[in-house]
């Protein structure tokens, strides 16, 4: 057992770190106070003997809350010594009004695997990063309308990686760890959360979590895991919110460029980036500049297909797109060059956070970009985020908050429980095969909800921007803070001031 110190007010006391998990606490001098330690291994072995036999550790450490977020550390280990440490943060600011279809559920988020920077202690980075992501989910559930209409707030769960580790984590390689994670997601065990896909999740990992979740409920349904239905691809659903947001901008700001005959730059060709490319092409974009770290190119933009980092499967998807849209161009460029391509619309969809800085914003201005429509999270450099939002507006770019333009994923996931309710209570849904019922639900409930919310929010944010003499991105933060009765002010230049530390 490794002895680490945990801060309790001004006192220190020793805490035992489970053997084998020391690597996650390297270079960590102190950890937050531990409120409670719970061993759930016996419960798992009694409840689900087959899964229980594959596990030899399943512990939950409850930490002190921060920013009204509950925090837990989860230590998991299989009988063949595959280990995973997870951090979970979930909102305590749950609306009193509950949607009748949701029962005990109160928070929604995703479970993902994130790399730890080489210069950071894994546990310290994970605690900080997970809290940041959970707070962003509080933003997203509020701006998406899920909080007001369904009584859902935000959470996030992350799998901790050792510093500098490349390749797959043990969690990604072990279906037992994934199933145990799903089993934990139940009100009886750990969480009132509904969780879905996030960074580095695959259909296989989310499916394993769903199996584990089904073990924890009496009717055997995947009650706590979303995104497993064929037509409920939650990352792909970001298309709905990106499209709805730009349409709302066009309706309210007539000079906003549409996709038709436009040039669009898109960094990131993952699951959201792919749907962004499809959206732009379907809406008539004449050319798309695309970059991705997994598709390196030379100085002329020629794909380096012999590069060991080159993703052949991803490249094949790109070639298929080029074949499917023969009259429209999709051109690969290097990631650092994407900001300098002459374009009308810039759609960041990369998992790389904080990609918009003073330098890159000025490059976008020189490139002629009029709209920044994000499918990514945390697009602005954090240190001077509100100055950058102000700068983008002064450079002539309209930039709605990314928590609005990429909220389709969380909306799809958040409404999935309503789908199951309709399948059990509405004769129109009860009589249909799964595929038809899912498509009907997306068509009649999800897309209209996203579009109506985008129209309402863009109109509201433009009013706040005029009232406060600021930009639409900052107006989004002012609106959000007002929902929690927090006063927000801007300086004479329209830059947001006096923001709470979180």
Q: How many CA atoms lie within 13 A of 40 on its CB side?
A: 24
Tens of pLDDT, residue by residue over 411-437, are 999 999 899 899 999 999 999 999 999
Q: How confident is the model at residue 325 (pLDDT cuts 50, 70, 90)?
A: very high
pLDDT at 223 over 80: no
Phi and psi at residue 267, to the nearest 5°:
-85, 125
- Pick from 332, 330, 240: which is nearest to 294 by CA? 332
Distances (CA, A) of 455 to 140, 145, 381, 449, 469: 16, 12, 27, 10, 21
What pLDDT is recorded for position 375?
Answer: 95
Give, in words, the CATH class of 238-405. Answer: alpha beta
CA distance linking residue 107 with residue 92, whole number of Å: 9
Residue 159, strand partner residues: 86, 113
Tens of pLDDT, residue by residue over 191-219, are 788 898 888 888 899 999 999 998 887 66
Which CB contacts under 8 angstroms, 24+ apart, belong to 113-116? 113/158, 113/159, 113/161, 113/169, 113/171, 113/172, 113/199, 113/200, 113/201, 114/158, 114/159, 114/161, 114/199, 114/200, 115/161, 115/165, 115/166, 116/160, 116/161, 116/162, 116/163, 116/164, 116/165
Mean local confidence (pLDDT), 369-381: 94
Name the percent of the chain lying above pLDDT 70.
Answer: 95
Say which range, 14-18, 192-196, 394-398, 480-484, has the weakest mean pLDDT.
14-18
CA distance linking residue 397 with residue 436, whole number of Å: 41
pLDDT at 5 over 90: no
What pLDDT is recorded for position 502?
Answer: 43
Distances (CA, A) of 333 to 130, 178, 222, 298, 312: 32, 36, 41, 8, 16
What pLDDT is recorded for position 191?
Answer: 74
**End-to-end CA separation in angstroms for the chain:** 34
Which of the four CATH numbers 3.10.20.600, 3.30.1060.10, 3.30.420.10, 3.40.50.10860 does domain 34-215 have?
3.40.50.10860
What pLDDT is recorded for position 501?
Answer: 46
Tens of pLDDT, residue by residue over 238-262, are 999 999 999 999 999 989 999 999 9
Mean local confidence (pLDDT), 25-36: 83
Residue 31, strand partner residues: 6
Mean local confidence (pLDDT), 453-457: 98
Tens of pLDDT, residue by residue over 285-316, are 999 999 999 999 998 889 999 999 899 999 99
The three-state secondary structure class of 365 is helix
CA distance linking residue 97 with residue 462, whole number of Å: 28
In the DSSP assignment, the letter for residue 258 is P
Q: Do domains 34-215 and 238-405 have the same CATH topology?
A: yes
More confident residue, 480 or 15: 480
pLDDT at 9 over 60: no
Tens of pLDDT, residue by residue over 130-150, are 999 999 999 999 999 999 999
What pLDDT is recorded for position 13?
Answer: 65
The three-state secondary structure class of 127 is helix
In the DSSP assignment, the letter for residue 445 is I
Name the percent of the chain lying above pLDDT 90.
Answer: 75
pLDDT at 104 over 60: yes
- Pick from 335, 400, 337: which is nearest to 374 by CA? 400
The three-state secondary structure class of 278 is helix
The three-state secondary structure class of 217 is coil
Reported pTM:
0.90
Q: How confident is the model at residue 26 (pLDDT cuts 50, 70, 90)?
A: confident
Edge-to-edge strand ranges of the sheet holding 30-31 = 11-17, 2-8, 30-31
- Count of beta carbons in the 10 Å neighbourhood of residue 413: 25
Domain residue limits, the chain: 34-215, 238-405, 408-497
pLDDT at 84 over 70: yes
pLDDT at 113 over 90: yes
> What is the gyration radius of the CA atoms in the chain, in angstroms?
23
Check if the beta carbon of residue 302 is closer than 8 Å to that of residue 266: no
Check if the beta carbon of residue 53 is closer than 8 Å to that of residue 45: yes
| CA of residue 220 relative to chain centroid, distance | 27
* Residues with Cβ within 8 Å of residue 340, at least 6 apart in sequence: 363, 366, 367
């Amino acid at each position: 057992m490794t002895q680490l110190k945990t801060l309790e007010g001004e006192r220190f006391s020793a805490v035992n770190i489970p053997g084998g998990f020391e690597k996650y606490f390297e270079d960590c001098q102190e950890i937050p106070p531990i409120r409670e330690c719970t061993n759930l291994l016996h419960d798992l072995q009694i409840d689900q003997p087959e899964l229980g036999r594959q596990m030899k550790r399943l512990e939950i450490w409850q930490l002190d809350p921060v920013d009204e977020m509950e925090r837990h550390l989860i230590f998991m280990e299989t009988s063949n010594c595959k280990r995973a440490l997870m951090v979970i943060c979930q909102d305590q600011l749950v609306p009193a009004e509950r949607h009748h279809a949701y029962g005990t559920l109160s928070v929604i988020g995703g479970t993902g695997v994130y790399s730890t920077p080489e210069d950071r202690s894994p546990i310290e980075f994970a605690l900080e990063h997970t809290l940041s992501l959970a707070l962003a989910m509080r933003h997203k559930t509020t701006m998406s309308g899920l909080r007001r209409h369904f009584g859902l707030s935000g959470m996030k769960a992350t799998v901790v990686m050792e510093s500098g580790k490349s390749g797959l984590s043990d969690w990604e390689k072990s279906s037992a760890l994934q199933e145990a994670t799903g089993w934990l997601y139940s009100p009886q065990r750990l969480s009132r959360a509904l969780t879905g896909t996030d960074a580095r999740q695959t259909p296989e990992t989310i499916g394993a979590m769903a199996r584990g979740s089904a073990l924890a409920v009496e009717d055997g349904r995947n009650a706590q895991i979303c995104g497993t239905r064929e037509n409920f691809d939650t990352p792909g659903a970001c298309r709905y919110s990106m499209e709805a947001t730009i349409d709302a901008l066009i309706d309210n700001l007539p000079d906003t460029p549409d996709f038709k005959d436009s040039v669009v730059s898109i960094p990131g060709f993952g699951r959201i980036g792919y749907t962004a490319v499809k959206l732009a092409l379907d809406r008539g974009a004449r050319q798309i500049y695309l970059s991705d770290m997994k598709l390196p190119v030379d100085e002329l933009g020629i794909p380096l297909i012999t590069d060991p980092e080159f993703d052949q499967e991803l490249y094949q998807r790109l070639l298929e797109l080029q074949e499917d849209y023969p009259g429209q161009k999709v051109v690969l460029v290097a990631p650092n060059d994407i900001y300098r391509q002459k374009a009308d619309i810039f759609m960041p969809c990369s998992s790389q956070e904080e990609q918009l800085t003073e330098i890159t914003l000025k490059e976008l201005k020189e490139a002629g970009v009029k709209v920044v429509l994000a499918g990514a999270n945390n697009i602005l450099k954090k240190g001077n985020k509100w100055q950058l939002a102000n700068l983008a507006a002064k450079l002539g770019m309209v930039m709605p908050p990314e928590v609005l333009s990429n909220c389709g994923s969380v909306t799809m996931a958040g409404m999935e429980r309503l789908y199951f309710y309709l399948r059990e209570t509405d004769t129109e849904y009860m009589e249909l095969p799964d595929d038809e019922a899912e498509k009907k639900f997306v068509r009649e409930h999800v897309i209209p909800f996203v579009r109506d919310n985008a129209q309402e929010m863009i109109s509201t944010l433009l009013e706040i921007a005029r009232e406060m003499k600021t930009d639409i991105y900052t107006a989004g933060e002012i609106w959000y803070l007002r929902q929690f009765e927090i006063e927000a002010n801007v300086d004479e230049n329209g830059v947001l001031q006096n923001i709470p530390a979180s």
